[in-house]
Amino acid sequence: MVERHEPTSREKILEVAEALFARSGFAGVGLRELADRSGLGKSSLFHHFRSKGHLYLEVLRTVLERIQERLAPVIRSQSGPAEKLPAWVEALIDALAEHPNSARLLLRALFEDDDFPEDLEPQAQEVEGIVMSILGTYQAIVQQGIDLEIFQPVSVTDATQTMIGATVYHFASGEIGEAVTGGPIFAAAAIQRRRREVVHFLIGGLTADPTH
């Protein structure tokens, strides 16, 4: 059972900030809009967060940790790569689908080389560390599958980049993604289909004979 409670101001700010940063990126968000939508004055934000940068990195960390939690049981499981890889990908997709802001924020964390002031280098490196740690668990599964000759000897790093693109981009793709797919991205049926298709593609790529 989930405990219900009125969100604290801090929680409310983080919730609103997550949506705004996902939509517009770090530079595209003004603290005025954030304050208004949080039901607070602009200055009150600084009681909860030292700066806009600190807030942004805290939002990123929260999103990444949510994803990590989803993946943890899969990583802990003792099954072989043939079962573990689909389970990993499906868990990631579920995590991205559960919270529509996650994919966009994750995508921004992945491809935007933000240059933060040095007083929050520690937070920035923590975020990058979580990203690399998550990706490391995927690479380990692919590598294990290759070692066991269950998968073809593909480039592990390219397989990882392809997996990121296939999962994260799709759920970040917004209006254009919906124009391409011809329907909502976050509807339950669409998520189900995407899970099937991505797993099919990735397994197909990992197992197809290179001499087609």
Partner DNA sequence: GTCTATAGTGAGATAGAC
Partner DNA sequence: GTCTATCTCACTATAGAC
Residues that bind DNA (CB under 7 A): 9, 29-33, 39-44, 46-48, 50-53
Q: Minimum distance from CB of 54 to DNA (Å)?
A: 8
Sign of the dihedral through C-alpha 26, 31, 33, 38: positive
Q: Which does 125 bind (CB under 5 to 8 A by kind): DNA, its own copies, none?
A: none
Q: Looking at beta carbons only, is 56 or 138 nearer to DNA? A: 56
Residue 68: how many other CB atoms lie within 10 Å: 16
52 binds, among its own copies, DNA, none (CB under 5 to 8 A by kind): DNA
Nearest partner of 46 among 24, 12, 20, 13, judged by Cα: 13
| Backbone CA torsion sign across 19, 110, 53, 5 | positive
Residue 197 token pair: 């298709």
Give CA–CA dist 195/167, Å, rounded.
Answer: 9
Both tokens assigned to 92 = 């990631």
Q: Where are the beta strands (DSSP E) in 18-140?
A: none
For residue 169, the partner it binds in its own copies, DNA, none, with Cβ less than 5 to 8 A by kind, is: its own copies
Binding site for its own copies (CB under 8 A): 23-28, 104, 107, 109-113, 128, 131-132, 135, 139, 154-155, 157-162, 164-170, 172-177, 179-182, 193-194, 197-198, 200-208, 210, 212
The distance of closest approach from Cβ of residue 82 to its own copies in the complex, given in angstroms and rounded to an integer, is: 9
Closest CB 28 distance from DNA, rounded Å: 9
